[in-house]
Amino acid sequence: RIFKAIRRIVRAIDLRSRDVSKAVGLTIPQIVVLQSVEELGEVTTKEISIQADLSAATVVMILDKLESKHLIERYRSKVDRRIVHSRLTRQGQEVLDQVPPMLHDEFRASLNAATRLRQGALCEAIEAIAEMMDAGHLDAAPILMTEDKPV
């Protein structure tokens, strides 16, 4: 039953990811990194890596793509030239404003209708499953990207 439920979740996430990617022309990891830059402001690659739960190498590749699309800009710190910061461009903010929610409307409505206690229990259960599957050390980006095209 657990494996079947996980397969259904993976399939639902895959389908939603395709819809979201198609809507804005970016892969899910690119969207996640763009959202991290928006949330954190002018930020280093390491901070993005932690926030997005992606390896630093993956974040650098994604930032290269986002910079080539003029969605972010990178610049050296004035305090320490070894440090490189990233920030959203106006075009990057416009793209983010068009990103649909990552979770289905039905799921979000059901989750919002649940009590705080139930929401917490669901979150804990999902986190426990991820931990049991030893997913904490995985970099999900390669699974979600195929070449330069959204999945």
For the CA atoms of the chain, what is the radius of gyration? 17
Note the pLDDT of residue 92. 96
Who's near 53: CB < 8 A, 6+ residues apart? 140
Q: What is the pTM of this model?
A: 0.77
> Tell me: the pLDDT tens digits for 78-95?
888 888 999 999 999 999
Residue matched to tokens 């389908």:
15
> pLDDT category, 138, cuts 50, 70, 90?
low
pLDDT of residue 125: 94
The confidence score (pLDDT) of residue 147 equals: 44
Three state DSSP letters for the chain? CHHHHHHHHHHHHHHHHHHHHHHHCCCHHHHHHHHHHHHHCCEEHHHHHHHHCCCHHHHHHHHHHHHHCCCEEEEECCCCCCCEEEEECHHHHHHHHHCCCCCCHHHHHHHHHCCHHHHHHHHHHHHHHHHHCCHHHCCCHHHHEECCEEC
Assign residue 58 a region (left: φ > 0; alpha: ψ between -120 and 50; beta: otherwise). Answer: alpha
CB 45 within 8 A of CB 56: yes
Which residues 6+ apart lie within 8 Å of 151 measured at CB?
Answer: 14, 17, 18, 21, 27, 28, 144, 145
User: What are 36-72's pLDDT values in tens digits?
Assistant: 999 998 899 999 999 998 999 999 999 999 999 999 9
